[in-house]
Copies of this chain bind each other. A is one copy, B any other.
Amino acid sequence: MREHFEVRTYDGAGRLGKLTVPRSGVTVETPALLPVVNPHVQTISPAQLESEFGAEILITNSYIIHGSDDLREPALEEGLHDVLGFSGAIMTDSGSFQLSEYGDIDVTTTEILQFQQEIGSDIATPVDIPTPPDVSREHAEDEWATTRERLDVAESVDTGEMLVTAPIQGSTHPELRERAAREAAETDLDLFPIGAVVPLMNEYRFADLVDVVAASKRGLPEDAPVHLFGAGHPMMFALAAALGCDLFDSAAYALYARDDRYLTVRGTKHLDDLTYFPCECPVCSEHTPEEVQALGEEGRHRLLAEHNLAVTFGEIRRIKQAIHSGNLLELVETRIRGHPTLVDGYRTLLDYADQLEATDPITKDSFFYLSADSARRPEVSRHHDRLARLDVPDDVLLTTGQQSDRYDASWRLVPPFGPVPRSLSDVYPLTAESPERLDRAAYEAAATGVERLVEDNPETEFTVVHDGWPAVALHRIPDRVTVYDLDTDSGDE
């Protein structure tokens, strides 16, 4: 058991949790956003992050502090919290990013962990090797072996109450990511960043990202807090949270602002392309794009960073509320319409419906059928599994129309779920709300439910009465079932 992390509520694989950070005596609610604070350039001060944006935790770079004559001594003498003016939890990175950018850094894992300990970091990071996407399996395995050794080193360093991360690498090889996650979890390290995914996000490769995250999660126990390292764009937070990512960090809020770019949950806009601010944050309520465009560089970048942070924290709150209400996948269905590549990400997420189902609560508030993709949600396959466990009499009517006493049992037939015995009619998810104009996927999923029930009950005689279901769905119903179409058949059955 990792005692510093507690999951309070699940929704699919998404979860609300509490990360206890003993060194600072702070408890961080997850999913949480860690704003990245550049120790040299602070667009928004850590104090403002805390008081105005509600940041409970931030991340800064110990390697930069270590290498800076201006910063090193004050950090060692006063400690990071005083230097930054931040009372929440402080996580520090180790220079791995610099390693990946410049090929070489001048500290070892032991040195940088000890330094992080000395400057008062609450969560420290060893020097892992951020293996980029698309390298060969052999290359990725070799680099993981090195990272793995450094986790052993990290375990051996005396870090007191400070939490230490165990980064998961493995490039775009899911099996290796899963193995790396398992090996990382076998250490006594505390927090699990999924590393080197920034290139996937920058290239909008959300399907590949989902494969990597899902694989990493399969290798981790449920009580492992997971950090999607470098994930700073709010357009993909909901998708990542639905997989069970607990921590996000954003350098984007400041980096994008410096490039006059404006974050939204539906993508990035350039300030010059905006005539109206599509947002209700304080900056966007009080200013017009024209006003902000007319400001000097500093004022402009500051207001954009404030907007970017507001929408980033706002999305974290929306995700938390959605998990709390049990409708995170409904939020995901909305978010993925921000970009076609996010649609691919969601379709890939639903490939792992079983993985989501494992922790999904049995009952939630409501199920909204919002697109053909909804037919692949874990609730649908769970219902099909449940059908296999039902007692079924000799002669059963499954109908979208009126019930009938002429059968031993008469059940409703409800897309996308399929057969619904009366006992389950008022039970989640069979209380789902669906459009009247359904897509074929809903009928096909319902027909698959019929198929499952019929195959599991070879002795039972089944009659299906439907209202004009499409052929692609009817093809799934076994031949031995008597099928009537209310829309075309003459009808006394």
Residues of A within 8 A of B (CB): 52-53, 207, 266, 273-282, 284-285, 310-311, 313-314, 317-318, 320-322, 324-325, 330-331, 333-341, 343-344, 347-348, 368-373, 433-437, 439-440, 472
Which residues on B sit within 8 Å (CB–CB) of A322?
278
User: Separation in Å of the A475 CB from the closest CB of chain B?
Assistant: 10
Which residues on B sit within 8 Å (CB–CB) of A52?
285
**Bound: A310/B282 CA distance, A:** 10
Contact for A371 among B275, B320, B371, B435, CB less than 8 A: B371
Is there an interface contact between B276 and A317, defined as CB atoms closer than 8 Å? yes
Which residues on B sit within 8 Å (CB–CB) of A434?
340
User: Separation in Å of the A435 CB from the closest CB of chain B?
Assistant: 4
**Bound: A325/B314 CA distance, A:** 24
User: Separation in Å of the A170 CB from the closest CB of chain B?
Assistant: 22
Closest residue to A368 on the B side, CB-wise? B340
User: Separation in Å of the A401 CB from the closest CB of chain B?
Assistant: 21
User: Separation in Å of the A259 CB from the closest CB of chain B?
Assistant: 19
**Bound: A480/B115 CA distance, A:** 75
Is there an interface contact between B435 and A341, defined as CB atoms closer than 8 Å? yes
Interface of chain A, helix or strand or loop or mixed?
Answer: helix
Which residues on B sit within 8 Å (CB–CB) of A338?
334
Name, among A325, A337, A341, the residue most crowded by chain B CB atoms within 10 Å (CB to CB).
A337
Query: Given A280-B280, A285-B281, A285-B310 in contact, is the A437-B347 Cβ separation under 8 Å?
Result: yes
**Bound: A275/B324 CA distance, A:** 8
Closest residue to A345 on the B side, CB-wise? B435
Is there an interface contact between A314 and B278, defined as CB atoms closer than 8 Å? yes
Which residues on B sit within 8 Å (CB–CB) of A339?
368, 433
Contact for A433 among B285, B318, B340, B435, CB less than 8 A: B340
Query: Given A343-B371, A437-B347 in contact, is the A278-B337 Cβ separation under 8 Å?
Result: no
Closest residue to A333 on the B side, CB-wise? B337
Identify 24 residue pairs between A and B in the complex whose beta-carbon atoms are under 8 Å apart, listed by A's number.
A52-B285, A53-B285, A207-B437, A266-B331, A278-B321, A279-B280, A280-B281, A280-B310, A280-B311, A281-B282, A284-B314, A284-B317, A285-B314, A334-B335, A336-B370, A337-B370, A340-B368, A340-B433, A343-B370, A343-B437, A371-B371, A371-B372, A371-B373, A372-B439
Closest residue to A289 on the B side, CB-wise? B321
